[in-house]
Structure formats: structure tokens, C-alpha cells
Homo-oligomer: A and B are copies of this chain.
Amino acid sequence: MLRTEVVRNILSWYEGETPGLKANLSRLLMHGRLGGTGRVVILPVDQGFEHGPARSFAPNPAAYDPHYLYELAIEAGVSGYAAPLGLLEQGADTFAGEVPLILKMNSGNGLVSGNDQALTGKVEDAMRLGCVGVGFTIYPGSDISYEMIEELRDLSLQAKSRGLMTVVWSYPRGGKVTKEGETALDIIAYGAHMAALMGATIIKVKLPTDHIDLEAAKATYENNHIPRATAADRVRHVMQASFAGKRLVVFSGGAAKNTEELLEEVRAIRDGGGNGSIIGRNSFQRPRAEAVKLLGQVMDLYA
């Protein structure tokens, strides 16, 4: 399938990036059920590091096997599959070329207190495994947010000069951010904007609530009458904060929820101009047939 006008237009936003990065972004945007629509659904499986294996996979034990996760991504026809080193390695050869891969390069560890992450993969690994890009989490607000941002800068330079795109999980937490604020509209928009400022090819944030968390931001949101009543309004604001919608932004829903709630979120993301969803636990924790069906429903809404 050749690139569509929608995809050409998206690539035009990434001016100054290498043709290699654009070719890899194009591979993601042209792959699977949503190929050519400018929307993406990505399967992320990085909960093993964060929550441990049982909390991640016990609800659907087939998912303990890394090949199952590749098969789910391929069968469902999602745009890409993002995971840490070990999960990608166990299947990269068997399924070489069948689904765009994103190497998640850093991961937290649910046994440690605090908001840091360890680097668990390298740009060399991403090339060796045939990935289209690398993923990296930053925690703006946390004590170590500056170190994480500097680490992101180093990795981005390496990755992009070799034609790999970057996906930035931007999750503000700590510092002046309250617990409720982690999903507040102003905070999520702020996190998305910082990822854009860091040169992220794709930005991943949580779907925001209508809460405004920073004291200093409240007047701005009130005085300028920034709409935030509906989820679609809030997505629209996040897109605005992401270079007026000229960066790809995907949203995660977080913990497992029922199908209708999830589809409702997807409609809001679509209506607000978001570029898609990243759906982990809501897919791989369901039985295979249900997961494929759900991902299909999600992609039908985006198509």
C-alpha cells in the first residue's frame, strides 16, 4: 500500500528529521487495520517491570508467553507493538517484519519507592531487533525529572541519527503535582508540550480529567475560557499543546475497565482530534478472542 495523503501530511510536520525516521514513521502509519488513516493503536506490554508478572498476566495466563503478545498484535492488526528488551527478543526472529516494533528503553520497578527508571535497552538493540523506534518514559515534576530529560536527549540524538523515531511516555508526577493532578488537564497538556519540546516523534499521555492542578494555571484556564467540559474538549486542548496538533499524540486509559467505558474514551479521543490509543492491560488481560474483538472495535471507531 502506498502512502495516503493523510500520512504524507503527517510526515510533512516532521521537517528536519531524517528520511530514515520518516520511513520508519511511515511504516507504523501504514501498517495494520488503521494503515493510512493517520490514526494508530499500539499494543504496549511494559507492565511486567512496573507491576510484576502476576498482576500483568495472571488474568490471561496465555500472555505469559512472549509469542502470544506478538501473535495478538499481528492478529488484531494493531499499528505497532512496544515492549522492553526481553519481550521483544523472544519473538523478534520468529515474527521478523510482521509488526512494527518499538523498544521501550527504560522501565520502572515496582519494588522500589520513588519515581526513577532504569535504562534496560540500547539504541544498538533497537537496530539489531529491527525496530521502527524507541520508547522512553519521563516523569516531569519528579526529583529526577532533569536527569530523565537529559537522558532522553542523549538517546533521541542517537536514535534519530540512525533513522529511529522516538515515542515519549510523558507522565508528570511528584514535585508540585498532586496525586489527583497526575491526570489533571493542565498537567497532561504540560507533559505533552514538554515531550514535544524534547523532539518526540510520538507523544503518549493519559486521558485527562477536567481538574486543573497548578494554582498558577487556574486563572489562565478560567480567563481564556479553555473548554474542558467533555473528554473530547480535553483531548483537543492536549493536541493544541502538542504544537497545534502537529505532533502525533496517543492516549492511554490506564487500568482495566469495561468495554463500553473504553470505547467511550476512544470516541472522545477521536472527536478531540487525538491520533489514537495505546491499549495494554485492556487487551492482553482479556482472553484472546475478546481482546482481538475489542481492538477491532477500537480501530473501527478510529478508521
A residues with a Cβ closer than 8 A to B are 2-3, 11, 13, 15-27, 30, 48-49, 51-55, 57-59, 61, 64-66, 68, 74, 84-87, 89-94, 96-98, 101, 107, 109-113, 116-122, 124-125, 127-131, 140-143, 145-147, 149-150, 153, 157, 161-163, 172, 174-177, 186-187, 189-190, 192-194, 196-200, 214, 216-217, 220-221, 224, 226, 237, 240-241, 243-244, 246
Set of chain B residues within 8 Å of A110, measured between Cβ atoms? 176, 190, 214, 216
B129 touches A193 (CB 8 A): no
- Chain B residues near A172 (CB-CB < 8 A): 111
Q: Contact between B53 and A241 (Cβ–Cβ < 8 Å)?
A: yes
Nearest CB in chain B to that of A56: its residue:
B193
- Chain B residue contacts of A217, Cβ below 8 A: 52, 54-55
A118 touches B240 (CB 8 A): no
* A149 partner residues in chain B, CB cutoff 8 A: 109, 118-120
CA of A199 to CA of B153, assembled, Å: 25
